[in-house]
Amino acid sequence: GRFSFNVKGGRCEACQGDGVIKIEMHFLPDVYVTCETCKGHRYNRETLEIRFKGKSIADVLDMTVEDAQGFFAAVPSIREKMDALVRVGLGYIKVGQQATTLSGGEAQRVKLSKELSKRSTGRTLYILDEPTTGLHFEDVRKLLEVLHELVDQGNTVVVIEHNLDVIKTADWIIDIGPEGGDGGGRIVATGTPEAVARVETSHTGRYLAQMLKARPRVAAE
């Protein structure tokens, strides 16, 4: 319990392990200021004096996942979790980053990394909503490797996505449109990326055709 934020023992009681103090502004958004007692380190003095390879728990939480991957190379139970986070393109986030500060796409990838740490049953349905938001193209590539690995294991992966680098690798596409918002909501095309790329009424197909160098496009049936 000493290293937990959720119970008394090792955390800073002034901020209850948050590292910040919330100041309610009533009619304005709340303001958060660094805790003066722990200086944002989230733990009490006794806990911060405990060291592992010269690092305190505050130092570890301030590491990026990628840095922690190397730091805990000799501790398999920790390293494997860091490996999974790196595989889904989250090597840049801090180990101690609060879940409430993650974007929607990042939060989904954290959950996905947890799944990678489990033994696959090959019978799981994964539904992801724009998981590539904010990702560098190299991290998108890493994420796609993970998604295809899950499918190869027999699982089903459904992805709601606008990123053509993801769409072009799909086994099957359901293109909804033809426009966004009130102008959409209808199924415009379905099929493999190559098939959708040949549907002239599909905006997605138009751009897929450029990427795939598809055959001449035909009218939707």
81-91: pLDDT as tens digits: 999 999 999 99
Residue 218 has pLDDT above 80, yes or no: no
Q: Find all residues with CB under 8 Å of 69, minimum gap 6, and list them.
A: 79, 82, 83, 86, 91
Which pLDDT score is estimated for 121? 85
DSSP three-state, residue 155: coil
The DSSP bridge partners found for residue 20 are 34
Which pLDDT score is estimated for 9? 92
In this prediction, what percent of the chain has a pLDDT beyond 90? 78
